[in-house]
Chains A and B, each alone.
Chain A
Amino acid sequence: METKTIGKITATENKPTTYNTIRFWLAENEDIRIFDVVRVRHIKDSYTYAIVRDLQFITDSAGHLANYVSSDFGDVAATPVNKRLGTTIAEAEVLYNSKDIEMPVRDSASVETADAEGVRKALGLLGFKNPIPAGYISMSYGLEVPIEVEAKYLVGPEGAHLNIAGISGLATKTSYAMFLLNALQQRMGDKASMILLNVKGSDLLAIDEVPKNPLSEAQTAEWKRCGLEPTPFRNAKYLYPYAQKRAQAMFSNTSLANLRGDILTKQHAENRAFNYFYDVETMKEKMAMLLADVDDPTNTLEQMYDQIRGIQASSWDAFRAEIERRTKPGQQSGNSIPPQSWRKFRRFLQTRTSNPLFVERSLTNAKERRQKLVADAVRELRPGEVLVVDIEPLPDYLQCLIVGDIISTIRNIKLGEDDQVEPSDLGKVIVFADELNKYAPKSDTGGRSLTNVLLEVTERGRSLGVIMFGAEQFRSAVHDRILGNCSTNAYGRTSPVEMAKCPDYRYFPDSHKASITRLEQGSLLLQHAVFKTHLIKVRFPFPCYLKEDVAQ
């Protein structure tokens, strides 16, 4: 694309050009946007590239009163013959100079539309060993430049984890995460496995199916522009919550209002769908995760978990009976846990294990019931595979249990504490969890076992190869240390209230804040460790897996 001059640098006594900031006036009829990249002719035949941060239209009017006077002292019908002298002044952040010159650009230097190669250099996108497509930037002057992130900063070992924040309903958080995961599968298929948690309707329950309506040419072109094929995920397996519903639901608790029977049947036929459950033996080890949200200031629950591990029970009925026994006075065998604590635990147990998920492994119809422990499903995961775990039908505390179970299983495998799987068998494991605030809330100051597991994963995960892709509506609701460990952050549309509440937005320029409140579908602001600017506005392609028409 040809470059053209669109304005000239203006450096004044009060607002000089600096190493970091330039300002330029725009020629009449030029139309640029925030986040456009421009280049400026600089000394020694070099070009300085800068990203537009703000736009202002200024006039020579001394004040509002001058404009009022200029309309015949407040006559709204007055039509002045003269247009006031005015121009648009753009402020831009310097990114890069083609000859490494750090001197401020000169007054009156020509400002031009940028070239693709220069933009990529300016943003720090060149020299990646393993680039992962992350969307593209679209300039107002027609230039579109693919954006990549460096794999070693996205999935370790140099940096890891992605966080996406933004209000729901604008098809951005999940769509972007799925795009990035698709890109990872296409580029790193043999090195990474993925676990996706479905928390909303049928969003992720047919990710290996082609969309009902084929992508349009423009949508396909977006994928190509990013250097990717517009194909659904490959090697996807699904885990649904077990239930005793034989008929259409095929022993899963997944709402048939969310998932079409024929899709489920196909997944079963291809041996790609299973129903997860918790038997007593498994659950005894994971009781802490079931009660992760219960305050335990005296560590009574911790002591109970120790005792529970020693309970011999072959069924949930037997287990509950044993707990019931301990609630009776005089039934304790020399331990210090009083009956009233066991009664409290019993109440929790009754309410939290009433879900059909908590059953014994069925010995009949095993092939139809397709029961599988979550931990086993994780152990069977191999690089290139995607495991979708549907937790949408479950209440919050059970969702936390499943997430905790998955993460701790992966952690144990990666730490070599699982004797069934070698750490290298899984490759890098990327876990995508929406509503991260539920699992690692900001208000948690310690003690919640799930939060602790997530903290450990985000802090050590980049070296272990456990990568969190988290999303939430409000960053302000997520634990600071989780966010702080993310080397890539995406900011979707959000409200001014959230920006006022969340300190992460505090250092954004006002124009970026304004931009965040009006981001359109399919675009967000991306921050990545190796970008040479804090934020880039990226667009990403339309999802190319079956999302609509998945429900009955």
Chain B
Amino acid sequence: MKSIVQVINETIRPAGAECLPCDRVNLDYERYAEYRDSDEHRASEVFENPSPNSRTIRIADIGDGIPSILCYFLDGSRRTYKMADLLVRGRYLPLIAGQVGVAVVFRDTGADQVKPVRDFCSFRNVLAFPDQVTAPEDLDPLSRRIRTESRCAFELLRYTVKEDRDPVDLGIAKIMSFMANLELDAVHRLSDMRLLQNSSLLVKDGPLRYKNIKGRGFDVTQFRNVLGVSKTFRPSFTVGTGRSKRDVGAITAGLGMGERTPVFKTVEEDRFIGMWYLRIRPQSKMTNPLQGIIKVECYAIDDREAQDGLDAERVNTISVHLLRERNVTPYGQDLRWASHIYPVFETESFIKASMLSDTCFKALF
């Protein structure tokens, strides 16, 4: 059995390139971030029907006996590594490897614990090559060779080298994009199988920022019952216009326990997204005003919603069920515990527990 670096070298040397050893490092410890808000668009207007009179809306509680409508939870996670350097035509570019996992867990009514839904869970090993080393048509043969000679299944990706960007970041971004596609695929399949309904919503960890999958169009109607719930957000993000223009941090700082903001409209490609902020922990117990607040996103599905905004009653219903998710918490295990939804935390734990250890993964090379 050959190491992956050996196989790569045997493949690319005839073309004058070389795969050179480097200190194999995990890139997540320094660069890991749940998501970046930098590509969020401005949210200029309230996107809720009927439009609320106040900047804060108190969520009415519901009884304990009512089953939760939040039944599916989706998360994606990856570990990225710099495994080797590629020397090609005078350039010295990194080979980025990754373990990518996407998992969906299901919480049945009355069940004690969530269970992974295997059909919608994907775990992949990926290798991101700079586009200068490989042509698109080289990827499949190289992948097959690695599978045969190294007995490892890897999907090969190409990242485009840009002069003004760190190639490591570009490699990671490619892997992130691969993971987002796996997530999107899982949502599509859940929707295709009609598992997502008004009474069984999917909570996706992080914002709803999906691009079209190649070869498969993005059908927003399949996201009718999908929520994006983010643990962190950029407080300097601006909502509103004119005199009512304010930073999100200024609005959310005044939210009391069980209160939400109005829904604001933002646009992703040509799709409208309603987003609002909900405080799920009492501010008096938090270390800062932004702790204990989650950001919720939901696509506007039909024309009426796109025009008038999300139905306020539905937003309130979703909010109250999200509020109930506050217990139990991963307090002490995750710095973002105050905004973490426990089933999402479990999904994340499941993915990480399913991955190879860093030592094992590095040893493949």
Binding site for B on A (CB under 8 A): 28, 60-63, 65-67, 69-73, 78-85
Contact = CB atoms under 8 A, between A and B. Distances in A.
Contacts of A81: 68, 324-325, 327
B328 interface: yes
A83 B112 contact: yes
Contact of B327 (A65, A78, A85): A78
A70 B64 contact: no
Interface centre among B330, B333, B346, B349 (most CB of A within 10 A): B330
Contacts of B32: none
A83 B327 contact: no
A63 B112 CA distance: 20
B112 A65 contact: no
A42 B303 CA distance: 61
B101 interface: no
A62 B333 contact: yes
A72 B337 CA distance: 13
B113 A61 contact: no
Contact of A60 (B282, B330, B343): B330
Contacts of B329: 66, 69-70
Contacts of B68: 81
Interface in B193-233: none
B154 interface: no
Q: Is the interface of A mostly helix, strand, loop or mixed?
A: loop
B90 interface: no
Contacts of A78: 327
Contacts, number: 56
Contacts of B333: 60, 62, 66
A82 B332 contact: no
Contacts of B327: 70-72, 78, 80-82
B285 interface: yes
Nearest to A67: B328
Contacts of B330: 60, 62, 66
Contact of B331 (A65, A79, A80, A85): A65
Interface in B331-352: 331-333, 337, 342-343, 346, 349
A65 B333 CA distance: 12
Contacts of A63: 332
Given A72-B326, A78-B327, 10 more contacts: A61-B328, A61-B332, A66-B328, A70-B329, A71-B328, A73-B282, A80-B327, A81-B324, A81-B325, A84-B328
A277 B330 CA distance: 79
A69 B342 CA distance: 13
Contact of A70 (B285, B324, B331): B331
Contact of B285 (A71, A73, A80): A73
A71 B285 CA distance: 13
A535 B332 CA distance: 40
A69 B327 CA distance: 8
Contact of A83 (B113, B282, B337, B349): B113
Contacts of B326: 72
21 contacts: A28-B113, A60-B330, A60-B349, A61-B328, A62-B331, A65-B331, A66-B329, A66-B330, A66-B333, A67-B328, A69-B329, A69-B337, A81-B68, A81-B325, A82-B327, A83-B113, A83-B328, A84-B328, A84-B342, A85-B346, A85-B349
Given A70-B327, A79-B64, A85 B113 contact: yes
Contacts of B113: 28, 83, 85
Interface residues of B, number: 22
Interface in B262-292: 282, 285
A73 B280 CA distance: 12
Contacts of A69: 329, 331, 337
Given A28-B112, A73-B282, A82 B331 contact: no
A66 B330 CA distance: 7
A67 B337 CA distance: 12
A70 B326 CA distance: 8
Interface string B238-282: 000000000000000000000000000000000000000000001
A71 B349 CA distance: 21
Interface string B94-114: 000000000000010000110
A72 to B, nearest CB: 6
A82 B328 contact: yes
Contacts of B112: 28, 83
Nearest to B357: A13
Contacts of B107: 82
Contacts of B342: 82, 84
A258 B332 CA distance: 66
A62 B337 CA distance: 11
A66 B325 contact: no
Nearest to A82: B342
A70 B346 CA distance: 15
Nearest to B338: A69
A82 to B, nearest CB: 4
A69 B282 CA distance: 11
Nearest to B67: A81
Nearest to A29: B112
Interface in B282-314: 282, 285
Contacts of B64: 79
A61 B334 CA distance: 11
A69 to B, nearest CB: 4
A80 B328 contact: yes
Given A65-B332, A69-B329, A82 B343 contact: yes
A61 B324 CA distance: 19
B332 A66 contact: yes
Contacts of A71: 327-328
A539 to B, nearest CB: 33
A434 B324 CA distance: 63
A70 B342 CA distance: 10
A80 B330 CA distance: 13
A82 B325 contact: yes
Nearest to B342: A82
Contacts of B337: 69
Contacts of B282: 73
